[in-house]
């Protein structure tokens, strides 16, 4: 038995240090986690509200919308409608975790285990974060962004900057690259490749090929269209990128502002795709660490009960007919799946062996989990690892709601042999960003005519855009593009045009 980490609810900085060090030993030794260095910051409730309104980041450029969120959060916090989070953690290196000063010592332990080790490990190892975010650079970049916005306001006026940022924010959800871009061409490599290709052609030369008829020759018009599309990089689904690179009349500082918003959107892109996994990882890690601490006698039974109480609150999943139900709780689903994987790895049933031949009974739960945490996102995670056992436990069922169906909503699948795969497919689809976000692309620009920017929304399963919002966003887009913008909603299955929007830019300053 080693000595207690703390007694009662009070803590001070040496307590925090002790907690951190103890958690670190468990996290590195027993769980094999690999984390960024930690930076723990103690903040007040007011500072927590500040952080809320700037999307959790410690510094951000100034914009009225953050003030609006602040006013909103403050109002609901004051009325007691909303509790504040115990912590906020930032994907940066060193990894910054904010802890609320009101937390008891037990809660600080929980939060350090959860954020400073669970989230931290996930940020550092998950492929999406590795691919899309630069943890070392983000704080410097935000610093730069804030300074740049201030500079622009001084030079070009607050109103002009605000207009640009408003427009960029409206398009933020369509300002991310969804696929890793083409690698930059390396000229020397290129030369080698061309040489190899020539050698191959010489080796494989056969005059017969010359006589094989090729496809119909392309007309000049078709060639022109193709050339234009290549030049503009069409089709393009990253609207902000497209504007930044090709909008004809933007000032350089406007392009830079758009770029800033785009980079920030990209930075947050992985977070939206890994809510279940991220929270599941952190919850699983804190659960393991807290249990170990208790077993080693470093937490009193009372403190452990306090932990269990808040842990249970966090992973509570109301059922669909519960008034508290508002979708899946990512903590609950994530934690349940992580535990389920542990079970499959250590004590598999025959069913598990059939469903998960790779991992069932392999024995080392942490190795499997670390691999899962590194290589999956919510959508692939659910479609790979949601087990029949868990589906039965959660009593999942699938509803299909077709507005055309008069009789009502059909129960399409339930947690039985026939339904497992369908439920799993549907649930994983609910987490697929490619499926949740409307699929909108720039398809063409009328360069020969009125320079109209043409967008296309591919409508899946009849879900069209909300009209008021779509008009407002397109108005912003037209203002940046400075010529007409059109958007057609086309049904994916039938290619039928469902709706068409055309918006003209509001009057631009004469200087442009």
Partner 1 sequence: MHIIDRRLNPGGKSLENRQRFLRRAKALVQGAVKKTSQDRDIRDVLEGGEVSIPLDGMDEPRLRKEGGTRDMVLPGNKKFVEGDILPRSGEGSGRKSAPGQGDSEDAFRFVLTKEEFVNLFLDDLELPDLAKRKFAEAESEGLQRAGYATSGSPANISISRTVTRALARRVALRRPRPQEIAELEAELEEETDEGRRAELLAKIEALKAKAKRIPFIDPIDIRYRRFETVPKPIAQAVMFCLMDVSGSMSEHMKDLAKRFYMLLYVFLTRRYRHVEIVFIRHTDRAEEVDEQTFFYGPASGGTLVSSALQCMHDIVRSRFSPSDWNIYAAQASDGDNATSDSENVARILTSNILPVSQFFAYLEVGESGTYSFEMPDSALWSLYERLRAGGAPLSMRKVRDRSEIFPVFHDLFQRRKTQERAAS
Q: What are phi and psi of 19, to 5 degrees?
A: -60, -45
Question: Shortest approach of partner 1 to residue 293 CB, angstroms?
Answer: 17
Instruction: Supply the DSSP symbol for 237.
Output: -
Window of 41-49, 85-93, 129-137, 211-219 that interacts with partner 1 by CB under 8 A: 41-49
d(CA 288, CA 316): 18
Of 201 and 319, nearer to partner 1 (C-beta) is 319
Peptide bond into 235 cis (omega under 30): yes
CB of 429 to partner 1, least distance (A): 7
Nearer Cβ to partner 1, position 163 or 294? Answer: 163
Among residues 42 and 490, whose Cβ is nearest to partner 1? 42
Q: Work out which of 469, 493, 504, 508 binds partner 1, going by CB under 8 A.
A: 469
The β-bridge relationship of strands 38-43 and 95-100 is parallel
* Residues between 205 and 264 that touch partner 1 (CB under 8 A): none
Residues from 137 through 196 that contact partner 1 (CB under 8 A): 166, 169-174
Query: What angle in degrees, to the nearest 10, is found between the helix axes of 301-314 and 275-295?
Result: 170
Segment (H or E) for 90: strand 87-90
Residue showing tokens 């392309």: 218
311-350 positions binding partner 1, by CB under 8 A: 317-322, 325-328
* Ranges within 50-89 binding partner 1 (CB under 8 A): 50, 53-54, 62-68, 70-72, 74-75, 78
Q: By C-beta, is 192 or 410 nearer to partner 1?
A: 410
Nearer to partner 1, 300 or 380 (CB): 380
Report how far residue 316's alpha carbon sits from residue 73's, in angstroms, rounded to the nearest whole number: 24
Least distance from partner 1 to the Cβ atom of residue 452, Å:
19
Minimum distance from CB of 217 to partner 1 (Å)? 40
Tokens of 161: 């900057």
Q: Is the dihedral of CA 335, 337, 338, 343 positive or negative?
A: positive
Report the residue count for the chain: 512
Find out whether 84 and 101 touch, Cβ atoms under 8 Å: no
Closer to partner 1 by Cβ: residue 104 or 300: 104
Q: How far is the CB of 78 from partner 1 (least distance, A)?
A: 6
Interface segment toward partner 1; rule CB under 8 A; list 208-216, 258-266, 348-356, 389-397: 389-397
**Tokens linked to 206:** 């056969």
DSSP letter at 431 equals T
Residue 25 binds partner 1 (CB under 8 A): no
CB contact at 8 A, 258 and 243: yes
Q: Which residue lies nearer to partner 1 by CB, 51 or 299?
A: 51
Is-contact 146 312, C-beta < 8 A?
Answer: no
Q: Smallest Cα–Cα separation from 441: which of 480, 484, 489, 500? A: 489
Size of the site for partner 1 (CB under 8 A): 96
Within positions 472 to 501, which residues make up the interface with partner 1, using CB under 8 A? 472-473, 476
State yes or no: residue 394 binds partner 1 (CB under 8 A). Answer: yes
Which residue is it, tokens 């953690």?
89
266-285 CB burial, b ≥16 within 10 A, e <16: bbbbbbbbbbbbbbbbbbbb
Shortest gap between Cβ of 371 and partner 1 (angstroms)?
Answer: 26
Closer Cβ to partner 1, 348 or 428, answer by number:
428
User: At closest approach, how far in Å is the CB of 189 from partner 1?
Assistant: 39
Closer residue to partner 1 in complex, CB, 359/477: 477
Q: Which of residues 101-130 bind partner 1 (CB under 8 A)?
A: 101
CB closer to partner 1 out of 66 and 253: 66
Residue 497: helix, strand or coil by DSSP?
A: strand
Contact indicator for 344, 369 with CB cutoff of 8 Å = no
Site string for partner 1, 407-446 (x = CB under 8 A): xxxxxxxxxx-xx---x--xx-xx-------x-x------
């Amino acid at each position: 038995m080693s000595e207690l980490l703390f007694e009662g609810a009070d803590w001070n900085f040496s307590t925090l240090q002790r907690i951190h060090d103890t958690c670190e030993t468990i996290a590195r030794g027993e769980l094999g986690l690999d984390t960024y260095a930690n930076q723990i910051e103690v903040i007040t409730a007011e500072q927590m509200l500040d952080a809320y309104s700037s999307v959790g980041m410690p510094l951000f450029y100034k914009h009225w919308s953050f003030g609006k969120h602040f006013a909103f959060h403050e109002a609901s916090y004051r009325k007691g409608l909303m509790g504040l989070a115990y912590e906020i953690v930032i994907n940066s290196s060193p990894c910054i975790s904010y802890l609320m000063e009101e937390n008891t010592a037990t809660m600080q332990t929980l939060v350090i285990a959860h954020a400073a080790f669970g989230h931290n490990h996930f940020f550092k190892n998950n492929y999406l974060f590795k691919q899309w975010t630069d943890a070392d650079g983000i704080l410097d970049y935000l610093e730069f962004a804030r300074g740049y916005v201030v500079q622009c306001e001084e030079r070009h006026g607050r109103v002009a900057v605000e207009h640009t940022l408003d427009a960029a924010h409206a398009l933020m959800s369509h300002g991310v690259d969804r696929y890793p871009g083409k690698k930059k061409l390396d000229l020397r490599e290129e030369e080698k490749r061309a040489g190899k290709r020539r050698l191959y052609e010489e080796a494989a030369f056969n005059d017969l090929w010359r006589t094989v008829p090729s496809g119909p020759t392309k007309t000049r018009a078709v060639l022109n269209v193709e050339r234009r599309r290549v030049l503009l990089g069409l089709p393009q689904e990253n609207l902000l990128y497209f504007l930044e690179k090709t909008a004809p009349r933007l000032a350089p500082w406007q392009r830079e502002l758009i770029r800033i918003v785009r980079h920030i959107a990209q930075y947050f892109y992985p977070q939206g795709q890994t809510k279940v996994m991220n929270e599941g990882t952190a919850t699983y890690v804190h659960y393991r660490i807290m249990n170990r601490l208790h077993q080693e006698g470093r937490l009193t039974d009372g403190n452990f009960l306090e932990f269990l109480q808040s842990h249970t609150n966090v992973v509570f999943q109301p059922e669909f007919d519960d008034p508290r139900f508002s979708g899946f709780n990512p903590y609950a689903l994530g934690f349940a799946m992580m535990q389920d994987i542990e079970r499959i790895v250590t004590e598999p049933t025959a069913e598990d062996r059939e469903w998960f031949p790779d991992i069932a009974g392999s024995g080392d739960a942490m190795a499997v989990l670390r691999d899962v945490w590194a290589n999956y996102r919510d959508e692939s995670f659910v479609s790979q690892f949601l087990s029949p056992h868990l589906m039965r436990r959660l009593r999942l069922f699938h509803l299909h709601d077709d507005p055309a169906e008069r009789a009502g909503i059909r129960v399409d699948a339930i947690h039985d042999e026939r339904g497992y795969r369908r439920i799993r497919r549907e649930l994983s689809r609910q987490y697929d960003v490619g499926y949740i976000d409307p699929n909108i692309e720039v398809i063409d620009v009328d360069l020969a005519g009125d320079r109209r920017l043409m967008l296309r929304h591919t409508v899946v399963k009849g879900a069209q855009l909300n009209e008021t919002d779509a008009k407002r966003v397109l108005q912003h887009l037209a203002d940046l593009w400075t010529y007409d913008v059109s958007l057609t909603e086309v049904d994916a299955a039938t290619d039928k045009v469902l709706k068409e929007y055309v918006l003209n830019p509001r009057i631009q300053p004469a200087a442009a």
